Amino acid sequence: MSAKELSDLVTKEELLEKDRKYVWHHMSPHNENPMIIASGEGSWVKDVEGNRYLDGMSGLWCVNVGHGRKEIADAAAEQMMKIAYSTLVQSHIPAIQLAAKLNEWLEGEYRIFYSNSGSDANEVAFKIARQYHHQNGKPSKHKFISRHRAYHGNSMGALGATGQAQRKLKYEPLGVGFQHVPPPYCYRCPFGQTKGACEFQCAKAIEDAIVWEGADSVAGVIMEPVITGGGVIVPPDEYMPMVRRICDTYNVLLIVDEVICGFGRSGEKFGHMNYGVKPDIVTMAKGLTSAYSPLSVTAVSAELYESFKENEATSHFRHVNTFGGNPVSCVVALTNLEILEKENLVARSASIGNMLRTGLEELLEHPHVGDLRQFGSAIGIELVEDQKSKTPATAERVMRIIAGCKQKGLLIGKNGDTVPGFANILTLSPPLSSTDEDVTFILETLKAVFNANQ
């Protein structure tokens, strides 16, 4: 009997029994009855009982080209038969081809360092930034400025950069040298200002932090173009260019975390392109392969890279990653980028986002919707107890919406385990390949669930 035939005989309860006994779930308090996904096609997934759901979060903000892409599976299988592994202490053809393609997408000249995950990519960025300054006569520049509400990874340094208190509980102390400033959160402005009538104190706070810490101690500023997992917090258009100018003034590197915003999610190739800035370092993962294989990248400007060519014994970047940039993942990424280009999915992302924004506009009349935010095809719906006080919605209210959507066949997310008392933002991030019918289903389902929860 084949493995498939054996698996077909396993019941859901048998699977759950083994799951409860052996599997430790991510971000879950002992989930006794998890959904068990068995297959996927396009924007839809099926569980082991055959129930069909629209994947409104692209997995975890990552399956940009949709599920079940045979061309990606075929390319991976073909590469496995050629060579499945080769260390990047040397090189291999897919790594070279992908590095060249990424430079096309970045519209600049960058050196590409491969890792496995977004956390890895950011850890690499921190090490590169510190070593760069050290080798340019500024060894004291070691600190990084990040924002509250931001997420940059789970490892000790990346979690240190993260500005989400609940993620850090019971794990501190973390990596040292990370300072946090208020986010550009116009709906709940930390400075008591009104959008369109402020002096961008949120950007000025970054300059203040650099000055107060001492510019000679600050190596970099790290930010997502839009804070995604922390609540889809979209800054004013002027914000990111102001931050770029501040970094230039104080010889501070701008590290842009494109792990979620990149590869079309923003409606541009990368989120920083929405704001017309050029980062010194770009980190990326997720949509790079549409999660068909683990891979991440730290892209470093050619100018920064030059300082690592010095003749000192310790001038080279002394970092290695066993699986980072393996040939199979690089081929998967190349095929994924071909799909994004061939099917014009970057522009499609912008179109999906506009359809969702327009279709959901009426939710702003709902008594428990405080704000509706969009960045490309990423959507954040901030729930409140009442619109006047802006009191964040209770966990029960948030979960009723999520459960109602799931019951009707739509999977959505929320900003869980971020800031105590503020896990009140529903998130949407459907595959960029979603059809008009898929988007209509999302809209109709969400509106029906909200109407049933006045």
The C-alpha atoms of residue 96 and residue 98 are separated, in whole angstroms, by: 6
Taking the C-alpha atoms of residue 35 and residue 40, their distance in angstroms, rounded to an integer, is 14
- Please say whether the beta carbons of 112 and 344 come within 8 A: no
Q: Which of 293, 312, 342 is the last residue of a domain?
A: 342
- Whether 282 and 136 share a structural domain: yes
Q: Which domain holds residue 114?
A: 71-342
Residues 93 and 240 in one domain: yes
Is the domain of 300 the same as that of 194?
A: yes
Put the strands of the sheet holding 281-284 in their side by side order. Answer: 110-115, 296-301, 281-284, 253-257, 218-223, 143-147, 178-181
CATH of the domain at 365: 3.90.1150.10
Among candidate residues 298, 323, 342, the one where a domain is terminated: 342
**Domain final residue pick, 293, 308, 342:** 342
Would you say residue 23 lies in a domain? no
Q: What is the pLDDT of residues 133-153, one digit of tens each?
A: 999 999 999 999 999 999 999
The pLDDT value given to residue 8: 57
| Residue 393 and residue 265 share a domain | no
Answer yes or no: do 79 and 57 share one domain: no
Same domain, 399 and 442: yes
Token pair, residue 59, equals: 């997995």
| Residue 29, domain member (yes or no) | no
Domain count, the chain: 2
User: Is residue 19 in a domain?
Assistant: no
Residues 265 and 361 in one domain: no
If you ran DSSP here, which 8-state letter would residue 234 be given? P
Asked whether residue 7 is domain-assigned, the answer is: no
Query: How many Å apart are CA 109 and CA 95, to the nearest integer?
Result: 16
90 with 192, same domain? yes
State residue 1's pLDDT score.
41
Whether residue 257 sits in one domain with residue 238: yes
- Cα separation of 405 and 115, whole Å? 35
Residue 322 counted as domain residue: yes
Q: Which residues of the chain have pLDDT under 50?
A: 1, 3, 5-6
Question: For residues 376 and 432, what is the distance between their CA atoms, to the nearest angstrom?
Answer: 10
User: 348-354: long-range contacts at Cβ-Cβ below 8 A with a sequence spacing of 24 or more?
Assistant: 348/264, 348/432, 348/433, 349/264, 349/265, 349/266, 349/267, 349/376, 349/377, 349/432, 350/267, 350/268, 350/376, 350/377, 352/377, 352/430, 352/432, 352/434, 352/439, 353/267, 353/377, 353/378, 353/379
Residues 6+ apart with CB under 8 A from 188: 390
Q: What is the CATH number of the domain that holds 138?
A: 3.40.640.10
The DSSP H or E segment spanning 12 is helix 12-22
Measured torsion, CA atoms of residues 127, 173, 416, 294, in degrees rounded to the nearest 10 = 30
Close Cβ partners of 37 (under 8 Å, ≥ 6 residues apart): 45, 46, 47, 48
Q: Which are the contacts of 28, defined by CB distance < 8 A and separation ≥ 6?
A: 34
> Distance between CA 93 and CA 75 in Å, rounded?
14
Residues 160, 285: one domain? Answer: yes
Query: Looking at the structure, do residues 264 and 394 belong to the same domain, yes or no?
Result: no
Confidence at residue 4, expressed as pLDDT on a 0 to 100 scale: 52
Domain match, 224 and 365 both: no
pLDDT at 77: 98
In a domain, 85, yes or no: yes
**Structural domain includes residue 5:** no
If one counts every other C-beta atom within 10 angstroms of the C-beta of residue 74, the result is 11
